[in-house]
Amino acid sequence: MSQSIPSEIPVIDLRPFVEGDEAGSRAVAAEFDRACRDLGFVVVVGHGVPQAVIEAAHRTSRAFFDLDLAVRERYAAPPGGFVGYRGLGAEGLAYSLDQESVPDLKETYTVGRIDRGDDPYFTSPVGRMYMPDPIWPTEVPGFADAWTEFYRAMDRVATELMRAFAVSLALPRGYFDDKIDRSISCVRALNYPHQSSPAQPNQLRAGAHTDYGSLTLLSMDDAPGGLEVQRDDGSWAAVRVPPDAFVMNVGDLMAQWTNDHWRSTMHRVANPPPDAQGSTRRQSLVFFHQPNYDAEVVPLPSCCGPDDPPKYARTTSGEHLFMKMTKAKNLNV
């Protein structure tokens, strides 16, 4: 059952969908449909990921960002790549919406798909582009193991969410299964350092943007200056959730898939208030779920009709992601 929380985002328990009977599954799916139409953001509980797995991923991420800058830079993302480390100011998310922006006040570490096979889907040049080898910082004990376990757990949650989405959209429960079984999803840790001096005009920890893929799952610290979601009137609502819950939001690709019946909502990460006391450092872990790179995306029949024709031409998951990522890179840095 969903409930109202201060962040104005509905809370949905996933467990009845995964473990319950058909009636329970359909009730949960209906909640997702309402939430994805109204705001595009949900707080997910009952996801089944052990708290120890979440905490280990956070702990090792924090240890990495505590390393000297010269050490972090040894793991820099290769030119044109996305795995590995990207330093402060290396990205401006507002560029993905063709908006002029200043660089974001964050640094990141990213790994792509963990489990890969030896068939051409994975080994071809296209496959290698979307699924490069992960870069593991050896200075942090247990980093690779913690991140591998976290990635696999989040992928399982995303799979169940996509099944709930299918039921929500009057499709067979497994409709998306063969479109996400070799997904090109990634996990990213974001470190927002303590701000000891004012930001540049219009500079944020992460500029206003929408996410690119099917869905995003977020685990975050409760620290000054954080996630905000844009309301219909243009104002911003702060999001705060318990450490054992995930924030889920609809991405651009899913909005296209549903012919804009579901919303990919603008959000940002705000700077800490000027009067914040103590450290304002903040960390988030994000799982960006992205279907198989060759998955075809056209508006779903259940989301179209004589009075609601398709708004989007055919694309693929990979083509859409490549376009968005190219725009997001701040080429002046």
**Mean pLDDT confidence for 251-256:** 96
Of the chain, the percentage scoring pLDDT greater than 90 comes to 68
As a whole number of angstroms, the distance between CA 183 and CA 289 comes to 7
Handedness of CA 14, 17, 20, 25 (dihedral sign): positive
CB neighbourhood size of 59 (10 A): 14
User: Taking the chain, what is the end-to-end CA distance rounded to the nearest angstrom?
Assistant: 46
Banded model confidence at residue 258, pLDDT cuts 50, 70, 90: very high
Task: Return the residue matching tokens 């490549």.
Answer: 322
CB 5 within 8 A of CB 238: no
* Whole-number Å distance between alpha carbons of 28 and 302: 19
> What secondary structure letter does DSSP report for 60?
H
Q: How many angstroms separate the most distant Cα atoms in the chain?
A: 60
Higher pLDDT, 294 or 225: 294
pLDDT, tens only, 266-293: 999 877 776 666 677 889 999 999 999 9
pLDDT of residue 327: 65
Q: Report DSSP state, residue 331.
A: T
Span 114-124, mean pLDDT?
95
What is the model's pLDDT at position 329?
53
- What is the pLDDT, as a whole number, of residue 275? 65
pLDDT at 79: 82
Total number of residues shown for the chain: 333
pTM for this predicted structure: 0.90
pLDDT value at residue 207: 80
pLDDT at residue number 42: 95
Q: What is the pLDDT of residue 94?
A: 45
Among the listed residues 220, 69, 44, 58, the one whose alpha carbon sits nearest the alpha carbon of residue 147: 58
Residue 162: is its pLDDT beyond 60? yes
Q: How many CB atoms lie within 10 A of CB 181?
A: 11
What would the pLDDT profile of 16-33 be if each residue is shown by its tens digit? Answer: 999 989 999 999 999 999
> CA 159: distance to chain centroid?
14
pLDDT value for 254: 97
Is residue 71 within 8 Å of residue 139, measured between CB atoms? Answer: yes
pLDDT band at residue 92 under the 50/70/90 scheme: low
3 state SS of 320? helix
Model pLDDT, residue 272: 73
Average pLDDT, the chain: 88
pLDDT tier for residue 95 given thresholds of 50, 70 and 90: very low
Confirm if 283 and 225 have CB atoms less than 8 A apart: no
Sign of the CA dihedral with 171 first, then 172, 174, and 179 last: negative
Q: How far apart are CA 90 and CA 106, in angstroms?
A: 8
